[in-house]
Structure 1
Amino acid sequence: MKLYVSINPQELGEKAASHAADELNKAISEQGYARLLVSTGASQFETLSALIKKDIDWKKVEMFHLDEYVNLPENHIASFRKYLKERFVQRIPLKKAHLVNGEGDIKETIKLLTEEIRKQPIDVALIGIGENAHIAFNDPPADFDTKEAYIVVELDDKCKEQQVREGWFKIIEDVPKTAISMSVYQIMQSKIIISSVPHLVKAKAVKDTLESDLTNTIPATMLKQHDNWHLYLDESSSSLIDHKQSYNSLYL
């Protein structure tokens, strides 16, 4: 694990995007293509905005994403398909984008996504951490045992409250109860994981992740088991951690 602390979300996003671009270009140089996994949500705005401006041969990049609400129309403001099309997919000439569709035949969707994601490893995974320390929609207690690539999960109240606070839904009752989510196991198969985690609302989740042993009640603790995990924080999200303590590498 390596940890980097920036002044603000904008600097964090630029640094994380530069790191991701370097890794994507390295993969393209070595194997002729790259496979990218992206997160959504308010915490990813700056990283994705910076990443689309990088000098990358996007025609050689295949994109996957983590999750989508079940039975939420794509034209809903909270749809992650809508989010990614508007902020990423439609702004660069990707080789292909594999979007998670929460409408229609869920079993068939999961089957097709599983076939695609398991053709080759993910080269670069951009994985955020939620306010409840979830990764993707694997809310606590997360399923650390399944080897399925995508699963249907129930969202906990803290997760739903975060979606309301970020402005995706008006009230908690509007948030769908279930979602399709990439599993923790599948996320961990990625070659490199880069986590952009800005903002004060993430400070407790960051502290809990860094200072706790592996536990499915703090799903992000699993990321520490990955041998190539890079955590990007800003001054606000890092405000509760002990900067004198060594978390392998700390860049200020």
Structure 2
Amino acid sequence: MNVFVAKDKKEGSQKVFDLITQEMEDGAKVFGLATGSTPEDLYKIMTSSDMDFSGITSINLDEYVGLSPEDPQSYRYFMEKHLFSKKPFKKTYVPNGLAEEAEENTRYNKIIAENPIDLQILGIGTNGHIGFNEPGSSFESETRKVALVESTIDSNKVYFDHEEDVPRYAFSMGIKSILKSKKIILMAFGKNKAEAIQQMIEGPVTEEVPASVLQQHPNVIVIVDEEAGSLLNR
């Protein structure tokens, strides 16, 4: 696990873009993508660049259960708004939040199996989750419907007009699937991510801190700003 401490989010996002560019030059064809505030600057850099993503397939990590692709709070809507509508990809996959559980789990696991991920972009939750694999998630998990814990629901409240509108469930790519990615880049910015980053990198590998399993992956780059990296001991 290699760690790069950037001055701020802007510099960190640029570093990720540079790594993505290198991966494309090296022949990467399938990207795993994330949503939320963490990758927003990265997507701005991608859309303002002259890079051609028309040969790239993307597979997103997760989607809220119960939200349609047209819902402004859905992750499909987020990706269309921030990236796909501005930079066409060959194919884009996001879980279907309105699908029947067993059917969607099977469909998405098949998509991942048929499109091995060359580069997976991750954020991290304040409780150490990756995707929506909350604390306690099995390291052997694949795509499934997950119950969101209260800390995640609290973090998501800022995106919704009313607390009761915040989804309680999501479809998420599992940890086992994430670990199959050839290369992983995890991004984290801000003081509120510092404890999770420290536990992920320097703590024990435990399902109570799902991101800690990345210690066992052979090719992980962690990019944080000074605040997110402030609790690291080395």
Residue number in structure 2 paired with 1:248: none
The separation in 2 between residues aligned to 1:186 and 1:136, in whole angstroms, is 11
2:65 matched to 1:70? yes
2:200 matched to 1:209? yes
The answer to whether the 8 Å contact 2:52/2:87 transfers is: no
SS at match of 1:56: coil
Amino acid at match of 2:3: L
The answer to whether the 8 Å contact 1:129/1:195 transfers is: yes
Deviations 1:68-109 (A, max 9, x none): 111123343321111001111111121110121111333323
The answer to whether the 8 Å contact 1:195/1:231 transfers is: yes
SS at match of 1:13: helix
Residue number in structure 2 paired with 1:249: none
Residue correspondence of structure 1 range 1-252 to structure 2 within 5 A: 1-28=1-28, 34-146=29-141, 148=142, 150-164=143-157, 167-242=158-233, 245=234
The separation in 1 between residues aligned to 2:159 and 2:223, in whole angstroms, is 24
Alpha-carbon RMSD across the aligned residues, in angstroms, is 1.5
- Quote the offset at 1:162 in angstroms: 1.0
SS at match of 1:152: strand
| Structure 1 pair 237–40 and aligned structure 2 pair: CA distance change class (3 A) | same
In the alignment of these two chains, the number of paired residues is: 234
Flag structure 2 segments of 5+ consecutive residues without an equivalent. none
Name the TM-score, length of structure 1 as normaliser: 0.88
Amino acid at match of 2:93: H
Deviations 1:205-236 (A, max 9, x none): 11121221100111110111111000000011
Amino acid at match of 1:65: N
The answer to whether the 8 Å contact 1:20/1:194 transfers is: no
The answer to whether the 8 Å contact 2:59/2:93 transfers is: yes
SS at match of 2:172: strand
| Structure 1 pair 170–36 and aligned structure 2 pair: CA distance change class (3 A) | same
Amino acid at match of 1:217: E
- Quote the offset at 1:55 in angstroms: 4.4
Deviations 1:125-173 (A, max 9, x none): 0011111110000011112133x3x111110001111112xx2124543
Name the TM-score, length of structure 2 as normaliser: 0.94
The answer to whether the 8 Å contact 1:21/1:51 transfers is: no
